[in-house]
A and B are shown apart, each in its own frame.
Chain A
Amino acid sequence: MAAKTASTDTVKKRSQIKAIWFRYKKNKLAVAGLILLVVLILVAICAPLIVPYEKVVEQNLMERLAPMSGAHWFGTDEYGRDMFARIIWGARYSLALGVGSIIISLIFGALIGAVCGYVGGKLDNIVMRLMDVLLAIPQILMAICIVAALGQGAFNLLIAMSASTVPKFVRIVRSSVLSLKQEEYIEAARACGTGDGRIIYRHVLPNVMGPIIVQATITMAMTILAISSLSFIGLGVPTPQPEWGTILSENKSQMRYYPYLCTIPGIAILVSVIAMNLIGDGLRDALDPKLKN
C-alpha cells in the first residue's frame, strides 16, 4: 500500500513538472533565458578551468591598460590585471551571491510565513507587525545598514541581502497559506490526525510554491542588481575580489579613454539579469496558466 502511494506520488509529481515544462518551453524567450543562465552558471562553476585565479589578482604594471588582444581578450585594467579573467571569475561572485541570498531568504521566509499564516493569532500579529516595519525600509537601505554594521565583505553582503529580502517572502508565503488554510484537503488532513508540522511541510508548502518560485526568480534578478550597486558605491564586495559591480567601480576613472573597461562588466550584469527576468516571466506563465488567459 505504502509502495503504491509512493509510486503514484512520484508519477503525479513528474507529470506536474512535465506539464509545467511543456508550457514553459512554448515560450521561446523563456527558453533562451534558461539557456543563457545555464551557460552563465557553467562559466561560474568552470571558472578555474577557463582561467586560473592568479590571473584575476596578478598585477602586471608593464601591461597596464593594455587594449583587447589575443593575450588579453578584454584588455587589462589600470593595475595590469587581465579583465577577461576578472569577468569570468566575477560570474562566481555575482551569481553565487544572488542565488545564495535568495535561497537563504526563501528558506527563512517560507518557514516564518508558513508558521505565521498557519498558526495565526498573537504570534502572527507580532511577527507581521515586525515585518511591516522591516518592509517600510527600502531593501537597499536595509542592506546598507546591515553592511554598515557587519563591515564590508562578500559573506556579510550575503547576509545583508538575505536578511533584507526575508520580509518580502514572509508576506507572500503567509498570504498564500492564509488562502489555503480553509481548503478542504487541509481540513481532511487535520481530521486524519496529521500533525501541524507535517501539514505545513507536506500539504501547505507544496501548494504555495508556484507564486513563491516566480517571485524568487524575479527577486533574484533584482538582488543581483542590488549587489552590484552596493559594490559599486563601495559597500559590497571589496577589491580585489572580482564582483562585477566592484570591477565597474574600479574602472570608472578610466572610462574616458578605455570605455570598454566599463562596458564589459555592465553587459555581464545586464545579460544575467535579463536571463533571470525572462525565466521569471516564463515561469509565471507556465505555473499559472490562468494568468495567461
Chain B
Amino acid sequence: MLKYIVKRLLILIPIVFGISFIVFAILSFTPGDPVMNILGNGADAQAYEAKREELGLNDPFLTRYFNYIKGVLTGDLGQSWNYNTPVSAELARTIPKTLMMAVLSVGLMLLLGLPIGIISAVKQYSIWDNLSTAAMLILTSMPLFWLGLMLLQKFALDLKWFPATFPTDGMGTWKHWVLPAVTCMASMMASLVRTTRSTMLEVIRSDYIRTARAKGATEKRVVMKHALRNALLPVVTLVGLNFGLLMGGALVTETVFGIYGVGYLLVNAVKSRDVPLVMGSILFVATCIGVVNLLVDVLYAYIDPRLRSQYVTPKKIKGEEE
C-alpha cells in the first residue's frame, strides 16, 4: 500500500510540472506587455527597462521558466507583480477561506444529498423520487452565480436573514457562510443525488440484498448496512472529485459573494495579468486535485476490501494463500 502511495505521489510530480509549464507558456507567449500594465502608459523608457530587467522579462522563455521552477522548489513562489507581496503570503491569506467553503459545501452536500438519493432509490417512481429528480435536474442546469444572486436577493436583501457582504478580513461568522455554501453545493448535490440513486438501485437488485432480506433483516438494516455500504464507492469518487475542484473551482461563488478566496485571487490575477500569482494559484489547485484524487483511491481500499488486492503485488497474494 505504501509503495502504491509513493508511486502515485511520484506520478503527481511530472503532472504538476507539466501543468506549470503549459500555463507558464500560455502566459508568456501572449500579446500585451505586463510591464505596461504595472507602470501604466506614462512610464519613461528608463523605468520601463529597469522594471523589465527586475522581472526577468528580458531572459529567454526557458531560462525564465527554469528560474521560476528553481524558486518553487526552494519554496519561493515569487512576488506578485501587482501587490508587490510574496505570492505565498497571498495564498496563505486566501486558502483558509477556500478550504472553509469546500469543507462546508461538501459537508452540506453529503448531509442533504445522501438521504435524498437513498430515499429516491428505495422509493423508486414515488412522488418523492419524481420530485427530487425534477429538482436535481433544475439544480444541475442552473448557473451557480445566478442561484447565488437570487439567494442574495431573497435572503440577504429582502428577508435580511443573512449579511449581503463578506468581511474583507477575517473569516466572518457562520451567518456569512450559509448562502455561499448553499450556492456552492447546489450542482454538486444534484450529481451526488443522481449517483447515489443509480448505484443504490443497482445494488438493491443484487442477490446479496435478497439474501439479507431472506434472512429476515429489517428493511432499515438492509438499506443502511448492506445496500448503502456497497453503493458508497462512486459516491466517494464524487466527493473527492468535487472537493478537489472546489479548491479552485469555487471562483464563481467567491466572486458573487465577494469572498477573498483562491478562486477570487486567481480571477483577479488573470484579469491583471499577474503571472506569478496566476502560476502560484494554479500550482496550488493542481496539487490539491492530485492529492485529493490519491486520497480517494486510498480510501477505496478501506471501503472495499475487494480492491485492496489490487494494491498488493500478485506475488504477495500467492504467499498469503500458501
Contact = CB atoms under 8 A, between A and B. Distances in A.
Interface in B226-283: 245, 248-249, 251-252, 255, 266-267, 270-271, 273, 278, 282
A145 B251 CA distance: 13
A140 B249 contact: yes
Interface string A247-288: 010001001100100110110011001101110000000000
Contacts of B252: 229, 232-233
A134 interface: yes
A225 interface: yes
Contacts, number: 131
B296 interface: no
A138 B245 contact: yes
Interface stretch (B46-54, B115-123, B285-293): B285-293
A132 B293 CA distance: 13
B289 A234 contact: no
Contacts of B289: 136, 138
Contacts of B16: 136
- Please classify the interface of chain A as helix (H, G, I), strand (E, B), loop, or mixed, using the class held by over half of its residues: helix
Contacts of A248: 143, 145-146, 149
Given A137-B19, A141-B248, A245 B31 contact: no
Interface stretch (B55-63, B101-109, B133-141): B133-141
A3 interface: no
Contact of A133 (B22, B248, B270): B22
Nearest to A141: B248
Contact of B145 (A147, A221, A229): A229
27 contacts: A133-B15, A133-B18, A136-B18, A136-B19, A138-B249, A138-B285, A140-B249, A144-B266, A144-B267, A145-B23, A145-B270, A146-B26, A148-B27, A148-B270, A151-B32, A221-B141, A229-B144, A233-B251, A235-B267, A245-B145, A248-B149, A255-B153, A262-B150, A263-B150, A270-B138, A270-B146, A273-B140
Interface of B: 14-16, 18-19, 22-23, 26-27, 29-32, 137-138, 140-146, 149-150, 152-153, 157, 245, 248-249, 251-252, 255, 266-267, 270-271, 273, 278, 282, 285-286, 289-290
